[in-house]
Structures are given as structure tokens and as C-alpha cells.
Amino acid sequence: MTREIGQVPLHGVDQLAAQIPDGAKIAVPPDYSGVAMALTRAMIRRGLRDLHVICVPISGLQVEMLAGAGCLGTVETSAITLGEYGTAHRFQAALKAGAFRMLDATCPAVHAAIQAGGKGIPFMPLRGLLGTDLLKHRPDWTVIDNPFSKDEDPVVLLPAIRPDFAIFHAPFADRNGNVFIGRRRELVAMAHAATQSLVTVEEIRDVDLLASEETAAGTLTGAYIGGIAEAPRGAWPIKLWDIYDYDEDHLKLYGEMARTADGFTRYCDQFVQDQKAAE
Amino acid sequence: MDFSRQELLITTIARLLHGCRLVATGASSPIPGAGALLARAQSNGKMRVNVLGSVRNDFLCDGGVELFDLAGQGRLDAFFLGGGQIDGEANINLVGAGGEYPQTAVRWPGSFGSGYLYYLVPRVILFREEHTRRVLVPRVDFISSAGPKNDGTYRPGGPIGLLTNLCWFAFDRSKRRFRLESLHPGHSVEEVRDNTGFEFDCPDSVPFTVAPDAATLALLRTRIAAEIAETYPRFVAQVFPDLAAAGD
């Protein structure tokens, strides 16, 4: 029997991953917001296929590993970068092999389309993009003439993004299943746009975040959340805010092992399949 | 006066930002970040700077979209963009080169915010250290963001120029061409020509890029290096080893 905190089911990480079907459309945040890496490893263990991942607005190791494990059907992103930790080898190899559909975007376009999803409106206009090959390769984007302008004024329209799941990691949830997101408000935008959010947290605290204005302002209310799992160091080896930093040694090890498909498989045997090794 | 290549780039960027009220830097940008923080230190409190990835030098608190909303309203005065390829009409490519998109022979991380900010931020500084024909090409293979076309479309933003390891090119928006504005000390017009794949305008006499003075270098090597170390510790360890050692 699953426990509940407030009205939100509390799961283990693998149970949380079991909520996600093949082909699901999932929204994920950038490294600085809080990436659910323990959940990502559980998704790889589950052997998910054909995921449509929307990076809001970029991603790194998370999509790199999902690419290496063959979980991806579509990637919609403004960049995939491991930053100072080198090249995303498995992502690049999968892209070159045509293993998934690539939808290149620009950061504010993803934000705007996610905002449209959260508002329940069909599209959002965005400045810029005119004359780019980004626009040329996005048949789902369109250009209209600004209906409020006297003169000709082309504007790009982006269809709303409605993910099945928003997936992220945060420092803590309260006893009612509300999640503290601080100033990382892209997490709120993602959660509003998605049908439901699956969230991992460092810990669950016996407090009520909605009881005061000070904490309520940095809270995602549990109404958007389909499930929570406790995952201490759940962003590892990525950083979590100013709570812990990148595991530099581990990321170097990953970078070396992931140069080849075989090396990536060995990495997964060691750090993904054997759950205890990673946690 | 002794200064490194990186120190000249940082102090040049700080000069190019003079008069800005709000400046932001993007991903993987230690030199623009240091240049912006130096310009802020020299602005008598008039400039705000947002360094992506920083906690102490990030004043935004409304999520990832806030920076783009600031730019959309014209509040963001300056930003930095690079490119795996940059061409003579200031088109930039952050996606990939060779082969057929999306299976390009070389793949870079992606366009980030360029497809928007380049159109809206009035003082975009193109910055790429590597100055070779591989990077500065006649025509980019993929347009992540287009140079200004002067075709009447809404375009308050665009490049003011291109800073590399060899020189500073100003961008002439009406001619849609770069002009060699200054050479970094120790480099020549011939060297720039040999390593640039696009045509550019060149006056008869090209001055050297202004070298930093002692006070600016002292400020950079102490306070500014310490400020940028929060976000780019590896960069500071490499470029300001004395400060990095003192910090340990």
C-alpha cells in the first residue's frame, strides 16, 4: 500500500519511474534547477523506450544518459551540454545514428511554449527566430503577420507544449506534498504545463509550506504533483542549488567511460543497474 | 606592462560595455563574465550584471524566462554570443557543421538563447577566442541566429562586433560587413587576413587594441578574479593561478 503525504502518493524511486509509460512526453529542467538523476537511473533500469523529452530549456547528463540507454524517441531542446565536463558522447552518437528525432529550439521558445501549455492556450508568439534554420527545420512553428500592427510585422507562433509529466528534484516536500522550489520558477511553469509532476526530494519535512507567505512564495502546490519519492542526493552526480556541488571526479569517470557504447554499458552495470552503487 | 591574452580580452570587453545599465552573460562564458564584472566595478554602481550559473551575481528570481522577458522589453543592454561558425554577414552557427542536419558531421551543444537574444539585445558582442578559417567562414552551415538583414522586420538588437584572440572587428549594420577596428598587440593585418574565411573592410592603418592600465589589471587580478571564481573555478585556476593558490 502506498503511503500518502496530504493527497500526494509517496513512492520509492522505482515505483515513481513505473508511472511513466513508453512514449511519454516528459519535461525536464536544466542542471541549475534540480535534475532528478536518481529517477533517471530508475527510468533506465525500467528500460523505457521512445520518450519525448522536452528540455526546459536545456539539459546535460540526464539526456546524455537517456540517449546512451536507448530511451529516446524525440528530443526537443535548445542545447545539450556537459559544460566543463566535456562532450556528450552518447547523445552525439545516438543523434548521428538517427536514433531519435531532434527538435532544435532556442531557450525562450521552449519557455514560451511551456507557458502557453500552463495557461491552456493553443500557442504563444515569440520575437526573433526570423531567418534562422531553427525556424526552417521546425514545421510545427509558423509565422503570421502581427494582426495588431498597421505595417507588415512577421511574428513566429509556437504551439503550446503539454507534457505528460514534469520530472525534477527539489530539496524538500512538506507533510502535505507541497514542494519547495525556491526561486526556480521554471519548475512551476513546467508543472503547470504538464498533466502531472513526478518529483524526487532530498527529504520530507514535517512543516506546512503554505502556512506563511515567506515559504508559500517558493512553493509548488501538491495539486500538480502525481507522486513524490524521497531520494537523498537525488541529483547526484549533478549539483543541487547551493546544497551540494557537481561530483567532479565521478563526472570525469563518466566522461571517460561514455566515450564508447561498451564503456557506457559498463558504467550502467556499475552505477545504474546496481542501485546501491549510485546511492 | 605584462598582461595575458585573456586579460586583454576581459579588459576590452569591459570597455565595450561602458554605459550599459544591465548586462548578462550566458553558458560557458568565463571571459565575458569577468569582463562584465570588471565593467560593473568601474561603473560607480550604475551597472547590474547577471552571470548565468552564479548565485552571488544573479539578481533574477522569476525563473529561467525572466532574462528573456527583460530582453523582450528592451531592458537588457548587452549580451554575448559565440559560434562554432561565424560568417561575414554575422550569421552564427551553434548547432553543427558538415553533413546533413540533424546528422551533421560535427555537433555542438545547440543554439541556447541566441535565436531570440540576437534580435532583441542592442549591444550583442560576438566573442570567439579561436580565430581561424574553420570558425570564421564565408557562410555558416546552419543559421542558429541571423545577422541583421535591414529588411524591415522587428530587430532592435544585433551585433556591435566580433572579438577574437587576434583582433576586434566592428560590425557595420548598414553595409552588413565587419571592419577590422583594432589588432591585439603582437598581431598583424596579414595574420588576420590569413586566418579569416570571410571578406571584411580594413582601413589603411589599423590601431592596436588598447592595453589595460596598471589599476585595471590590479582590480581584475584581485576582486574580479575572486568574483568570477564562484562560477568558473577552473578558469580562474588557469588564468589567475596566484589568486587560486591564495584561495586554497
Å from B215 to nearest chain A CA?
31
Cross-chain CB nearest to A131 (options B112, B143, B154)? B143
What single-letter DSSP state applies at residue B220?
Answer: I
Strand partners, A5: A8
Mutate one of A32, A72, A92, A127 to test the B interface: name it (highest B CB count within 10 A): A127
Q: Up-side HSE of residue B165: CA atoms within 13 Å toward CB? A: 11
**Cell 592595453 -> residue:** B211
Contacts of B156 (CB under 8 A, 6+ apart): B74, B119, B120, B122
Q: Band of the pLDDT at B106, cuts 50, 70, 90?
A: very high
Q: Do A134 and B109 touch (CB under 8 A)?
A: no
**Which residues in A lie closer than 8 A to residue B63 (C-beta atoms)?**
183-189
Of the candidates A57, A68, A6, A5, the residue with the CA atom closest to the CA atom of residue A32: A57
As given in the structure block, the three cell numbers for residue B39 are 565593467
pLDDT tens string for chain A (279 positions)?
A: 578 999 999 999 999 999 999 999 999 999 999 999 999 999 999 999 999 999 999 999 999 999 999 999 999 999 999 987 889 999 999 999 999 999 999 999 999 999 999 999 999 999 999 999 999 999 999 999 999 999 999 999 999 999 999 999 999 999 999 999 999 999 999 999 999 999 999 999 999 999 999 999 999 999 999 999 999 999 999 999 999 999 999 999 999 999 999 999 999 999 999 765 555
Nearest C-alpha neighbor of A127 from the set A108, A152, A151: A108
Is the Cβ pair A33, B53 closer than 8 Å? Answer: no
**Cβ within 8 Å, pair A108-B68:** yes
The whole-number pLDDT of residue B244 equals: 67
Which of A32, A106, A184 shows the shortest C-beta gap to B115?
A: A106
H or E stretch covering B167: strand B167-172
CA dist A167 and A20 (Å) reads 10
Distance from the A134 Cα atom to the nearest Cα atom in chain B, whole angstroms: 6
* Distance of alpha carbon A28 from alpha carbon A42, whole angstroms: 15
Name every residue in B having a CB less than 8 A away from some CB of A. 27-28, 53, 55, 60-65, 68, 72, 94-95, 101-103, 107, 109-120, 142-146, 149, 152-154, 234
| Nearest CB partner across the interface for B27, out of A81, A102, A151 | A81
Would you say the pTM of this structure is higher than 0.90?
yes
Residue from A33, A111, A146 to probe the interface with B (highest B Cβ count within 10 Å): A111
- pLDDT of residue B247 exceeding 90, the answer is no
pLDDT of B245 strictly over 90: no
Contact (CB<8Å) B62/A185: yes
Please give the pLDDT value at position B28. 87
| Exposure letters B139-153 (e unless 16+ CB within 10 A, then b) | ebbbbbbbbbeeeeb
Kindly determine whether residue A134 and residue B111, on different chains, have CB atoms separated by under 8 Å: yes
What is the per-residue pLDDT across B136-165, written as a single tens digit (0 to 9) for each? 999 999 999 999 999 999 999 999 999 999
CA distance A26 to chain B (A): 18
pLDDT higher for A231 or B243? A231
Q: CA–CA separation, B199 vs A104, rounded Å?
A: 30
Q: Which residues of B touch A109 (CB under 8 A)?
A: 115-116
Round to whole Å and give the CA distance between A39 and A16. Answer: 8
- Whole-number pLDDT of residue A85: 83
